[in-house]
């Protein structure tokens, strides 16, 4: 099966700690790499995890707090120094381009690397990118500043040809692609074999949802519906629920409640407050609500 694989680059929150990096993830869909958020230190962690940053074609930034975007100047400059060329697409609020413009004008002058900024709406509900591997849709989150989440939907795959039927019916090779695309086959004696008898269905397309800094948003549960993997921020434990509300973050139990309501298959927690020395309490509180929960850790690789 083609890869649909998440690697955690950083899962800490705003204050730096020695245990966690600032937010960043790499999603590999069919060999294409998508970077989701890019906190300070992302380029170095990519190197540590032996992910070639030159393979990243698209970057998605959920919001403009520093722990989600301060790694971009370094990443772009390094890519350029390494001889990177062509376009690197950055999907973010328009303000990000404005913020980085003078820095990039200076550091990428004369470079063959061309960052292309695509302004995304703060309102969510928008397909911000689509290619042959994925379609990326935003959802509007509720943080202190405008913030969106990203839903990565794998493009549906074509069905598998049944080799036994092809051999038995002596179907010529040049017709196989047409069958993959939906056609049937009529043999020399005029018997028709419908598409469904000649193929087995492809695996259903996979879905990854990235829910960044936010209060819990039950209004999105339907949109998130049945995500194979839901990443949801879980900055605080229940004992800090008031602080979560105040700073417009979620508790682990609230993240789990969203996963449960959305019918997600698995939940991945992250964006831990610097106050916690481990994630045991966060994990226990989430699992009490939604057992199929794991905590993100730098370097974790998860097949969606």
User: Which residues are designated catalytic?
Assistant: 67
Region of 72-80, 177-185, 203-211, 282-290 interacting with a second copy (CB under 8 A): 72-80
Q: According to CB under 8 A, which one of 2, 52, 94, 103 is a site residue for a second copy?
A: 103
**Residue whose C-alpha is closest to residue 256's, from 239, 276, 236:** 236
Nearer to a second copy, 74 or 159 (CB): 74
Determine, following the binding rule CB under 8 A, whether residue 223 of this chain makes contact with a second copy.
no
Quick one: which segment of 98-106, 115-123, 190-198, 250-258 binds a second copy (CB under 8 A)?
A: 98-106
Q: Which two tokens stand for residue 230?
A: 């839901």
Region of residue 134 (left: phi > 0; alpha: psi -120 to 50; beta: else): beta
| 53 touches 78 (CB < 8 A) | yes
Residue 32 in contact with residue 57, Cβ under 8 Å?
yes
Q: Is 15 in the site for a second copy (CB under 8 A)?
A: yes
Tell me how crowded residue 145 is: count the other CB atoms within 10 A of its CB: 12
70 binds a second copy (CB under 8 A): yes
Q: Is 78 in the site for a second copy (CB under 8 A)?
A: yes
Q: Is 275 in the site for a second copy (CB under 8 A)?
A: no
Residue 4, C-beta contacts closer than 8 angstroms, at least 6 positions apart: 27, 28, 29, 30, 154, 206, 208, 303, 304
Which residues on adjacent β-strands are paired with residue 295? 269
Residue 19 sits in the site that holds a second copy (CB under 8 A): no
Site residues for a second copy, 134-173, by CB under 8 A, read none
The only residue of 5, 17, 54, 260 in contact with a second copy, by rule CB under 8 A: 17
CA distances for 60 relative to 96, 98, 130, 163, angstroms: 11, 16, 13, 40
Task: Rule CB under 8 A: say whether 122 interacts with a second copy.
Answer: no
- String marking each residue 34-53 x if it binds a second copy according to CB under 8 A: ------xx-xx--xx-----
Location of structure tokens 């092809």: 166
For residue 119, the minimal CB distance to a second copy (Å) is 16
Specify the DSSP class assigned to residue 12.
B
Asked if 193 contacts 187 with a C-beta cutoff of 8 angstroms, the reply is yes
Residues of this chain that bind a second copy (CB under 8 A): 14-18, 40-41, 43-44, 47-48, 64-66, 70-71, 73-74, 77-78, 81-82, 95, 98-103, 106-107
């Amino acid at each position: 099966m083609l890869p649909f694989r998440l690697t955690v680059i950083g899962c800490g929150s705003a204050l730096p700690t020695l245990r966690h990096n600032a937010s960043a993830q790499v999603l590999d869909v069919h060999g294409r790499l998508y970077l989701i958020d890019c906190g300070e230190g992302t380029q170095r962690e990519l190197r540590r995890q032996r992910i070639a940053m030159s393979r990243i074609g698209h970057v998605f930034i959920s919001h403009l707090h520093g722990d989600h975007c301060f790694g971009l100047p370094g990443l772009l400059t390094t890519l350029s120094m390494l001889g990177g060329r062509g376009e690197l697409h950055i999907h973010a609020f328009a303000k990000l381009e404005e913020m980085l413009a003078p820095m990039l004008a200076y550091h990428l002058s004369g470079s063959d690397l061309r960052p292309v900024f695509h302004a995304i709406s703060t309102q969510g509900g928008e397909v911000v990118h689509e290619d042959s591997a994925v379609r990326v849709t935003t959802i509007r989150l509720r943080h202190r500043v405008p913030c969106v989440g990203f839903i990565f939907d794998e493009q549906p795959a074509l069905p598998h040809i049944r080799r036994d039927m092809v051999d038995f019916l002596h179907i010529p090779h040049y017709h196989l692609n047409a069958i993959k695309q939906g056609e049937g086959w009529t043999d020399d004696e005029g018997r028709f074999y419908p598409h469904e008898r000649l193929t087995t269905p492809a695996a259903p397309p996979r879905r990854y949802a990235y829910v960044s800094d936010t209060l819990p948003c039950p209004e999105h549960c339907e949109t998130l519906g049945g995500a194979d993997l839901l990443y949801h921020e879980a900055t605080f434990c229940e004992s800090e629920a008031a602080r979560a509300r105040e700073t417009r973050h979620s508790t682990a139990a609230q993240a789990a409640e969203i996963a449960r309501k959305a019918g997600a298959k698995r939940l991945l927690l992250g964006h831990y407050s610097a106050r916690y020395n481990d994630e045991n309490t966060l994990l226990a509180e989430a699992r009490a609500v939604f057992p199929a929960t794991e905590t993100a850790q730098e370097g974790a690789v998860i097949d969606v």
